[in-house]
Structure 1
Amino acid sequence: MTPMTLHIARIETFLYRAEVAEPVKTSFGSIPRRSALLLRVEDAEGAHGWGEVWCNFPPYSADNKQRLFETVVAPAALIGRYADAPDAWHGLTARTARRAIQGGEPGPFAACIAGLDLALWDLAARRAGKPLRAMLAGDAAGDAVPAYASGLNPDTATAAVARCREAGFRAFKVKVAFGAEIDEAVVSGLARDLRPGERLMVDANQGWDVPEARRAVRRLGAHGLGWIEEPIPADRPAAEWAELAMLSPVPLAGGENVMGYEGFATLISQGHHGVVQPDMLKWGGVTGAFAVGRRSVAAGRSYCPHWLGSGIGLLAAAQVLAAVGGPGLLEHDVMENPLREALAQPFPRVRDGVLALPATPGLGVEPDLAAAAPWLVTHMEHRAGA
């Protein structure tokens, strides 16, 4: 990319929350409402970019992150002048490191900085007149990515798959770790009804201990799954992941709960994860995710970015996947969430399992603030020198 200098003049945060009829159900709890924390960054010349901060769990974590951004991260960002932008992630991480330690909140700090990193990349790509994927990878970037329907609850999965199939999806991921009998009934039924060319994956959300996981990966993997995601907690020893990877007839997946370059370098080099799934807005932003994605593909892994939030984060994950390439799939949350489309217009559609990306600069979408107004909880503004 061509080096440029960005001087942040204004940062706005928009906190949205919407109640939903069907909560997202996981082995660690349910998500009864959908939240989104968006960032709008404007430079001294009036150009702008959009970012999003990870906040899908716990349900009110967005409130804490907005206050953290207001009191610590935004003031730190507004004193910075970023040469060779938008790679400001390293500087902001270093500038706030002691505060993250002092507050005992490295995760929320990382998420706030990741969202800001995305907004700066979007701003820089808009200024350059290029889609974000082209800003990252030039002519090597693709213009579409394969996508799978994610977030399916076990008790409504059959109807959800039918709905998603009609909407253009050809791959589906259902939640498991609700008990051996329930898991087996759901997975066997969905696998039996798959049509030619369709794929099924499962996500345990760290829900099994090792003895349970030993049995589950063999039993569920026998149905020809695309992968089994987070069968055990992300921080379990490598020896446990190695054992499960050898027992499982299908690849293991994970990465959404891994942070840091060292953590991902270790995960990729150990080879127990056939599918690497960083959440760029939980840690690393575009800067970190693009690096992890390239390393994953070079090592023969599938890079499948994690995301379960609004449309801004979804488009960011899609743009980075298109830049990274490889055999990976885009995680596309399909559960009820009115914020997803309202905050990313024009919202692209999946056709025959593929999401075509906008040709317009940056992320290629813009939040419809008027349409999303009924769900706005708090709007804050921060200006340089204020």
Structure 2
Amino acid sequence: MNLPNANTDLSFFIQRIDVFVLRVPADPPVQTSFGIMKDRPAVLLRVLDPDGTYGWGEVWSNFPVVGAEHRGRMAATYLPQLVYGRRWESPQACFAALTDKLAVLAIQAGEPGPIQQIIAGLDVAIWDMVARRAGLPLWQLLGAPHATASPVIALYASGINPTDPEKLAAQKLTEGYRAFKLKVGFGEERDLRNLAAVREVIGPDLPFMVDANQAWSVQEAIAAGRRMANFDLGWLEEPVRADTSNADWAKLAREQPLALAGGENLAGTADLLAFAETEGVAVVQPDIGKWGGFSGCVPVGRAVQSLGKRFCPHWLGAGIGLTASLHLKAAVGGPGYVEVDANPNLLRDLFAGDAFRVVDGRVSLHTAPGMGVEPDLAACREHVTYQSP
């Protein structure tokens, strides 16, 4: 990574890893083309060094809807035994070693996703800890290009459900959001009706995107892209399964008019960059809590920018991961947005902190050390479903 100070000490020793799993009701439930979330989970990791310096990370845990506690227990079981007892030269070295050491377990258990996710969450926590120790905001430690006293990050309101979406879009508009993304994949008539309703509310000029959550075949996606063309959409996200061949993504790009976006369900530098290099892919969206943490996603983001594509981190969880996504975008720079779930989420609001204030579609990052988040676990003790010993 390109660090602002070559003398910055990135080495660390972890004395303790704490794991917390929380759930709060989702009202209204979050609807996608493949499932409904009736509550909002969060898997939080806290790392501490021998001097008491700490850092926070978050593990992606939305699906399956019963999977958050499993990820929490997995993190508490496997991460300490691999991380404790040695000084690591850098977060990147730890990330690479854990990825290598847990590869066989991922195969044996048939669970590469959860294992990649607990490594990613730990990496975020370690970077937060190292930045706090250095007395630097994390975006600065990561070498944010053209860094200012407070980077300003563009946002879009995401997760707008197919039930009365214009009401939520109108609410987000009044809250300061200036870009929006609607869930589609619920039938041609319903999708078109919702597109028209949201576009009418936000007006003809504000950015408007759609997300199909892997709902269609290639031919169905081509037809959908064509019928949605008149709504001036910024991108069509995951219209097909994430494991669709890059050749079929290119076919989709050629045969319908909308720019394509994806990447939240890809893992690994090679797969993400191959996707970014695909004809017609305009927006790449890795999820920092799903794969890579900062150690994986910052280099990928910079490579995506070098290809002339937009880098827009995916996030639909609690406030630690959202804050990490903002620092990730600041570190990579370039045009694009960070995703913010438009639906109520107590765990996002409590853990993102008071610094998260949307003004004219943007949020300014602070200059406090690390990510600057101080989760108030006492305020949501009743929502804790698992805590490591």
TM-score range, shorter chain: over 0.9
Q: Displacement, 1:298?
A: 0.8
Q: Who is 1:123 aligned against? A: 129
User: Structure 1: where are the runs of 5+ without partners?
Assistant: 382-386
User: For 1:23-172, what aligned pairs fall within 5 Å after superposition?
Assistant: 23-85=29-91, 87-138=93-144, 140-141=146-147, 143-172=151-180
Q: Displacement, 1:369?
A: 1.3
SS in 2 for 1:300: coil
SS in 1 for 2:239: coil
Q: Displacement, 1:78?
A: 1.7
Quick one: which of 243, 246, 253 aligns to 1:235? 243
Q: Displacement, 1:99?
A: 1.4
Distance 1:117 1:278 in 2: 15
User: For 1:1-386, what aligned pairs fall within 5 Å after superposition?
Assistant: 1=3, 2-85=8-91, 87-138=93-144, 140-141=146-147, 143-195=151-203, 197-381=205-389
Q: Displacement, 1:144?
A: 1.2
Q: Displacement, 1:199?
A: 1.2
CA RMSD of aligned residues (A): 1.4
Distance 1:3 1:94 in 2: 24
Q: Displacement, 1:323?
A: 1.2
Distance 2:165 2:10 in 1: 47
Distance 1:19 1:111 in 2: 23
Distance 1:310 1:36 in 2: 6
CA contact (8 A) 2:145 2:333 kept: no
TM-score, normalization by structure 2: 0.95
Change (3 A) 1:330 1:138: closer
Structure 1, 216-225 or 30-39: larger mean CA deviation? 216-225
CA contact (8 A) 1:87 1:117 kept: no
- The code of the aligned residue for 1:8 comes to I
Distance 1:21 1:194 in 2: 23
CA contact (8 A) 2:14 2:47 kept: yes
Q: Displacement, 1:49?
A: 0.2
Change (3 A) 1:365 1:197: farther
Distance 1:50 1:7 in 2: 15
Distance 1:347 1:58 in 2: 31
Q: Displacement, 1:73?
A: 2.2
Q: Displacement, 1:346?
A: 2.5
Q: Displacement, 1:38?
A: 0.3
Per-residue CA shift, 1:209-266, capped at 9, x if unaligned? 1221111011113211010000000111122111111123221000000011110121
CA contact (8 A) 1:221 1:228 kept: no
Distance 2:10 2:184 in 1: 46
Change (3 A) 1:34 1:347: farther
Structure 1, 102-111 or 130-139: larger mean CA deviation? 130-139
Q: Who is 1:384 aligned against? A: none
Distance 1:138 1:282 in 2: 22
Q: Displacement, 1:364?
A: 1.6
SS in 2 for 1:350: coil
Distance 1:284 1:85 in 2: 11
CA contact (8 A) 2:173 2:202 kept: no
- The code of the aligned residue for 1:355 comes to V
Per-residue CA shift, 1:170-206, capped at 9, x if unaligned? 0110100000111111112222333364111100000
- The code of the aligned residue for 1:190 comes to V
- The code of the aligned residue for 2:202 comes to L
Distance 1:365 1:347 in 2: 9
- The code of the aligned residue for 2:260 comes to L
SS in 2 for 1:270: coil
- The code of the aligned residue for 2:231 comes to H
The aligned length equals: 381
Q: Displacement, 1:119?
A: 0.2
CA contact (8 A) 2:170 2:201 kept: no
Q: Displacement, 1:336?
A: 1.7
